[in-house]
């Protein structure tokens, strides 16, 4: 945690230094970026209560952004920008004795230990500011590493449990059968328990195959969990971990 | 491009998700799912072969084998089917002396973190006199986990053990309104107005919540019945969760009791449409049916329509009745009784009370209230 802030401060220091060098508006290049995210909102290390992944479906996780790059010397520089992006997933997993809360033809949710299948849909729209140290391996390949900060403009985390049973409160509680059809499965929606701010580490590489056009690939690893601190229905902390891939266009 | 995407996807999933699946955790549940006893000649001890097997729902803590009078209960070896990996003490199949009442068995989960205690007993049939009286004054808060949420009623057997022969939909209502106070449940005890120091049962049709409304279950009628409530399927198959009736060995002749009724204002149907031309009514009836040698239990779907029905004692739909009113109705037999079948508990008796006559179809008026007190079944004893 501390390290990220340290990195952020160093990078900001770098910016300030750049300003002091009185070359503020000189020597900047600008880029547009369009890409696609693929990944999941997942715990760091799978708990033993998650047994199997039955399916994973793609979501419209497009990202669109602009970046500015400023070199400090031949090799090193800084890149920062503003990205609008979606990070979502839909996963169907088999769980055993997994703490959940759900509604099945009832009013107050029932909470306890679920064994069966869980479908989870996550959709988040974010405005993200990445601030990255950049290293040019050649005039075609640039590595980037640094923190990102995201404001979550809309978030959904919902789904349903099916084909299983929930032990109300704990494994000795009432066994509530959860069926397969929409009318008898257990729905849940934790969208309201999600955080508005996220941060993490963004590493990637840009590769230019022409003067203006390039491709990029990267990984954004969330270090802040997606849920608020006081949310404890899902016992594991979940982090957004998404890889991305796309095209860059250099304006100047 | 497509390849790269696939590679990225594969790498990501394998590193962050798939490769991290751990070994399966040990089971945390510790239930007796079934108890049974193996005998060369089960009918020496039991009335019906099916009585050698007792199936439990998750909210039951009592295993009751009903045996014939004269059975030697000093050395019996019940066996248990437990949730996977669980262990039981005393051991399954060990000889125990049940002649002094229930024996407590403790089931421990495979992961050793959880345990449940069960009372296992072999009970003799009740001494049947010419009348059986119920005054509904013995009740307590539920003891199954989570405990103390709602009321449950029991009778004392001749040997002093509790038998939970009267059931309600309260365990189902708990699942739909976990935060409700025990006094706000559809079925609650209140002080009797017929006898000081005693209690009667008050049944109220309650509104449920938004999700239940979407599932076309906008109300929960208060119910009280001689039978068992299977909470496991209360939300999934509510009609089948009410398992009406217990096996009996006497021929019921008449059904007597007391009630008062106050109907709620607006009758709504399962889609919450107000039915302006309809009024709500209370409902009380008793049904005797053939239990197919202990293999058939009638439920909300067929309690009044089953071909197994042998006799019926049903009050006309109950209109607004502000004062306590006594009723006494005869059982109307539609089929002859087979005495041998009766002796071997081949018939079951169900008694059902509901604060909304069409509550099983989720039609009724919120607020409709039925009070019931002091039921008596008069019977002809079949000589053992």
* Complete DSSP assignment for B65-134: EE--TT---SSB--EEEESTT-EEESPTT--B--TTS-EEEEEE-TTSS-EEEEEEEEEPPP---SEEEE
H/E segment holding residue B34: strand B32-36
Task: Inform me whether the pLDDT recorded for A52 exceeds 70.
Answer: yes
Q: Is B26 left (phi over 0), alpha (psi -120 to 50) or beta?
A: beta
At A11, list the tokens. 């990078």
Residues B109 and B153 in one domain: no
Backbone angles phi, psi at B173, to 5 degrees: -65, -35
Dihedral sign, CA of B161, B167, B173, B175? positive
Q: What is the CATH number of the domain that holds B50?
A: 2.60.40.2340
Task: Inform me whether the pLDDT recorded for B9 exceeds 70.
Answer: no
Task: Inform me whether the pLDDT recorded for B8 exceeds 60.
Answer: no
Residues of A in contact with B235 (CB under 8 A): 104-106, 176-177, 184
Q: Who has greater pLDDT, A211 or A183?
A: A211
Task: Tell me: ipTM over 0.90.
Answer: no
| Least CB–CB distance from A46: residue in B22, B233, B234 | B22
Residues of A in contact with B209 (CB under 8 A): 106-108
CA dihedral B196, B197, B200, B204 (to 10 degrees): 100
Residues B70 and B134 in one domain: no
B314: in domain: yes
Instruction: Collect all residues with Cβ–Cβ distance below 8 Å to B320 and sequence separation of at least 6.
Output: B261, B262, B263
Boundary-marking domain end, from B109, B124, B139: B124
DSSP-assigned beta bridge partners for residue B191: B199
Give domain limits for chain A: 2-247
At B248, list the tokens. 């009996």
pLDDT at position A45: 84
DSSP string computed for B256-325 = EEEEEEE--S-EE-TT--B-TT----BEEEEEEEE-TTTT--B-TTTTTT-TTEEEEEEPPPB--EEEEE
Boundary-marking domain end, from B124, B155, B188: B124
| A95 CB within 8 Å of a chain B CB | no
| A187 CB within 8 Å of a chain B CB | yes
Calculate the alpha carbon distances from B292 to A25, A80, B147, B307 in Å: 92, 78, 35, 11
pLDDT at position B253: 96
Distance of CA B79 to the CA centre of its chain: 23
Residues B275 and B191 in one domain: yes
pLDDT at position A92: 96
pLDDT at position B6: 56
Q: Closest Cα partner for A96 from B215, B306, B83, B164?
A: B83
Strand B223-229 relative to strand B242-244: parallel, antiparallel, unpaired? Answer: antiparallel
B268: in domain: yes
Query: Which percentage of chain B shows pLDDT scores above 70?
Result: 92
CA–CA min distance A83, chain B (Å): 20
Q: Closest Cα partner for B242 from B263, B259, B269, B221?
A: B221
Q: E strands of A141-252, at which residues? A: 141-168, 175-178, 186-189, 197-208, 213-222, 239-250
Interface of A with B in 100-119 (CB under 8 A): 103-111, 113
Boundary-marking domain end, from B60, B93, B124: B124
Instruction: Collect all residues with Cβ–Cβ distance below 8 Å to B97 and sequence separation of at least 6.
Output: B73, B74, B75, B103
Residues B142 and B42 in one domain: no
pLDDT at position A13: 47
Residues B118 and B159 in one domain: no
CA–CA min distance A153, chain B (Å): 25
Q: Who has greater pLDDT, B253 or B175?
A: B253
Size of interface A-B (CB pairs under 8 A): 145
For residue A95, the SS3 value is strand
DSSP string computed for B160-216 = S-EE--EEESHHHHHHH-TT--GGGSSEEEEE-SSSTT-EEEEEE-EE--HHHHHTT
pLDDT digits (tens, 9 = 90+) for B313-371: 999 999 999 999 999 999 999 999 999 999 889 999 999 999 999 988 889 999 999 99
Q: How deeply is B366 buried, as exposed, middle or buried, from its count of CB atoms within 10 A (0-12, 13-18, 19+)?
A: buried
Task: Inform me whether the pLDDT recorded for A47 exceeds 60.
Answer: yes
Residues of A in contact with B9 (CB under 8 A): 38, 243
B6: in domain: no
Residues B251 and B355 in one domain: yes
pLDDT at position B125: 82
Distance, in Å, from the CA atom of A73 to the CA atom of A59, rounded to the nearest integer, reads: 40
Dihedral sign, CA of A96, A99, A100, A101? positive
Distance, in Å, from the CA atom of A23 to the CA atom of A77, rounded to the nearest integer, reads: 13
Residues B238 and B334 in one domain: yes
Range of the domain at B206: 125-381
DSSP-assigned beta bridge partners for residue A68: A30, A80
Are residues B233 and A97, on separate chains, in Cβ contact within 8 Å? Answer: no
B20: in domain: no
Residues of B in contact with A36 (CB under 8 A): 5
pLDDT at position B11: 54
Task: Inform me whether the pLDDT recorded for B100 exceeds 80.
Answer: yes
Best residue in B17, B110, B173 to probe A by mutation, most A CBs within 10 Å?
Answer: B17
pLDDT digits (tens, 9 = 90+) for B102-127: 999 999 999 999 999 999 999 888 77
Residues B319 and B178 in one domain: yes
Interface of A with B in 51-80 (CB under 8 A): 51-53, 56
Cβ atoms of B167 and B227 within 8 Å: the answer is yes
At B285, list the tokens. 């009836």
Least confident stretch, A21-30, A60-69, B171-180, B374-383 = A21-30
Q: How deeply is B201 buried, as exposed, middle or buried, from its count of CB atoms within 10 A (0-12, 13-18, 19+)?
A: buried
Dihedral sign, CA of A122, A124, A129, A135? positive
Are residues A184 and B236, on separate chains, in Cβ contact within 8 Å? Answer: yes
B337: in domain: yes
Task: Inform me whether the pLDDT recorded for A2 exceeds 50.
Answer: no
pLDDT at position A109: 81
Least confident stretch, B34-48, B212-226, B280-294 = B212-226
pLDDT at position B161: 81
B217: in domain: yes
The CATH code of domain A2-247 reads: 2.40.160
Distance, in Å, from the CA atom of A132 to the CA atom of B98, rounded to the nearest integer, reads: 76
Residues B187 and B320 in one domain: yes
pLDDT digits (tens, 9 = 90+) for A98-109: 999 988 755 678
Q: How deeply is B247 buried, as exposed, middle or buried, from its count of CB atoms within 10 A (0-12, 13-18, 19+)?
A: buried
Instruction: Collect all residues with Cβ–Cβ distance below 8 Å to B19 and sequence separation of at least 6.
Output: none
pLDDT digits (tens, 9 = 90+) for A192-215: 999 999 999 999 999 999 999 999
Residues B105 and B178 in one domain: no
pLDDT digits (tens, 9 = 90+) for A157-171: 999 999 999 998 899
Q: What is the CATH number of the domain that holds B171?
A: 2.60.120.890
Least confident stretch, B127-131, B277-281, B287-291, B334-338 = B127-131
Distance, in Å, from the CA atom of B106 to the CA atom of B83, rounded to the nearest integer, reads: 13
Residues of B in contact with A48 (CB under 8 A): 22-25
Domain count, chain B: 2
Are residues B211 and A107, on separate chains, in Cβ contact within 8 Å? Answer: yes
Distance, in Å, from the CA atom of A84 to the CA atom of A122, rounded to the nearest integer, reads: 17
Strand B62-66 relative to strand B115-123: parallel, antiparallel, unpaired? Answer: parallel
B5: in domain: no
pLDDT at position A75: 93
pLDDT at position A105: 59
pLDDT at position A9: 46
At B23, list the tokens. 């070994």
Predicted model pTM: 0.78
Distance of CA A77 to the CA centre of its chain: 25
pLDDT digits (tens, 9 = 90+) for B15-72: 555 456 888 999 999 999 999 999 999 999 998 899 999 999 898 899 999 898 889 9
> What is the 3-state secondary structure of B103-115?
EEEEEECCCCCCE
Distance, in Å, from the CA atom of B326 to the CA atom of B328, rounded to the nearest integer, reads: 7
pLDDT at position A21: 47
Task: Inform me whether the pLDDT recorded for B268 exceeds 80.
Answer: yes
Are residues B212 and A105, on separate chains, in Cβ contact within 8 Å? Answer: yes
Residues B164 and B188 in one domain: yes
Task: Inform me whether the pLDDT recorded for B255 exceeds 90.
Answer: yes
| Least CB–CB distance from B208: residue in A45, A107, A243 | A107
Mean of all residue pLDDT scores within chain B: 89
Residues B116 and B130 in one domain: no
B3: in domain: no
CA–CA min distance A107, chain B (Å): 4
pLDDT at position B271: 84
Distance, in Å, from the CA atom of B13 to the CA atom of B116, rounded to the nearest integer, reads: 40
Question: Once rounded to an integer, what is the mean pLDDT over residues A226-239?
Answer: 91
Calculate the alpha carbon distances from A135 to A128, A205, B37, B159 in Å: 21, 9, 77, 86
Distance, in Å, from the CA atom of A98 to the CA atom of A96, rounded to the nearest integer, reads: 5
Task: Inform me whether the pLDDT recorded for B3 exceeds 80.
Answer: no
Q: Who has greater pLDDT, A67 or A17?
A: A67
Cβ atoms of B133 and B256 within 8 Å: the answer is no
Instruction: Collect all residues with Cβ–Cβ distance below 8 Å to B270 and sequence separation of at least 6.
Output: B216, B217, B218, B361, B362, B363
Task: Inform me whether the pLDDT recorded for B4 exceeds 70.
Answer: no
């Amino acid at each position: 945690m501390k390290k990220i802030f340290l990195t952020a401060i160093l990078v900001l220091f770098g910016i300030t230094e750049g300003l002091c060098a009185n070359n503020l508006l000189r020597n900047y290049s600008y880029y547009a970026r369009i890409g696609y995210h693929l990944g999941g909102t997942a715990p760091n290390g799978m708990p033993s209560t998650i047994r199997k992944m039955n399916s994973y479906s793609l979501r419209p996780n497009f990202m669109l952004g602009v970046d500015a790059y400023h070199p400090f010397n031949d090799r090193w520089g800084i890149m920062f920008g503003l990205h609008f992006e979606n990070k979502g997933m839909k996963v169907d997993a088999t769980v055993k004795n997994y703490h959940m809360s759900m509604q099945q033809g009832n009013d107050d949710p029932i909470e306890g230990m679920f064994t069966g299948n869980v479908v989870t849909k996550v959709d988040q729209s974010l405005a993200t500011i990445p601030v990255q140290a950049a290293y040019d391996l050649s005039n075609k390949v640039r590595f980037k590493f640094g923190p990102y900060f995201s404001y979550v403009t809309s978030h959904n985390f919902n789904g349903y449990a099916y084909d299983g049973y929930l032990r109300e409160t704990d494994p000795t509680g009432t066994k509530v059968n959860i069926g397969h059809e929409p009318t008898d499965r257990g729905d849940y929606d934790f969208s309201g328990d999600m955080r508005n701010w996220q941060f993490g580490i963004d590493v990637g590489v840009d590769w230019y195959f022409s003067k203006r056009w390039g491709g990029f690939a990267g990984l954004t690893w969330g270090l802040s969990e997606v849920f608020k601190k006081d949310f404890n229905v899902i016992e594991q902390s979940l982090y957004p971990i998404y890889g991305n891939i796309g095209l860059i266009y250099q304006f100047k | 491009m497509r390849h790269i995407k696939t590679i990225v996807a594969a790498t990501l999933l394998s590193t962050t998700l798939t490769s991290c699946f751990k070994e399966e955790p040990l089971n945390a549940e510790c239930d007796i799912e079934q108890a049974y006893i193996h005998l060369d000649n089960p009918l020496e001890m039991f009335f019906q072969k099916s009585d050698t097997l007792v199936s439990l729902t998750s909210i039951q803590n009592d295993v009751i084998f009903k045996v014939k009078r004269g059975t030697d209960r000093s050395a019996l070896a019940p066996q248990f089917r437990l949730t996977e990996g669980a262990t039981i003490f005393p051991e399954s199949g060990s000889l125990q002396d049940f002649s002094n009442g229930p024996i407590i068995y403790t089931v421990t989960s495979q992961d050793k973190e959880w345990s449940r205690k069960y009372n296992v007993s072999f009970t003799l049939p009740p001494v049947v006199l010419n009348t059986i009286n119920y005054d509904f004054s013995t009740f307590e808060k539920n003891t199954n986990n989570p405990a103390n949420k709602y009321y449950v009623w029991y009778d004392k057997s001749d040997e002093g053990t509790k038998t939970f022969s009267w059931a309600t939909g309260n365990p189902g209502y708990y699942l739909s309104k976990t935060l409700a106070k025990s006094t706000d449940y559809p079925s609650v005890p209140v002080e009797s107005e017929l006898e000081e120091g005693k209690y009667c049962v008050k049944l109220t049709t309650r509104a449920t919540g938004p999700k239940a409304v979407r599932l076309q279950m906008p109300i929960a009628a208060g119910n009280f019945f001689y039978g068992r409530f299977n909470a496991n399927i209360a939300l999934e198959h509510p009609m089948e969760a009410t398992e009406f009736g217990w096996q009996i060995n006497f021929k019921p002749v008449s059904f007597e009791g007391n009630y008062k009724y106050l109907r709620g204002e607006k009758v709504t149907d399962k889609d919450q449409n107000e039915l302006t031309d309809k009024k709500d009514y209370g409902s009380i009836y008793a049904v005797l049916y053939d239990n197919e040698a202990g293999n058939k239990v009638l439920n909300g779907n067929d309690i009044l329509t089953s071909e197994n029905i042998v006799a019926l004692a049903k009050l006309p739909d109950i209109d607004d009745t502000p004062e306590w009113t006594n009723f006494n109705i005869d059982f109307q037999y539609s089929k002859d009784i087979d005495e041998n079948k009766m002796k071997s508990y081949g018939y079951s008796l169900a008694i059902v009370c509901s604060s909304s006559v069409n509550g099983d179809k989720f039609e009724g008026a919120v607020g409709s209230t039925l009070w019931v007190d002091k039921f008596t079944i008069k019977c002809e004893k079949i000589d053992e």
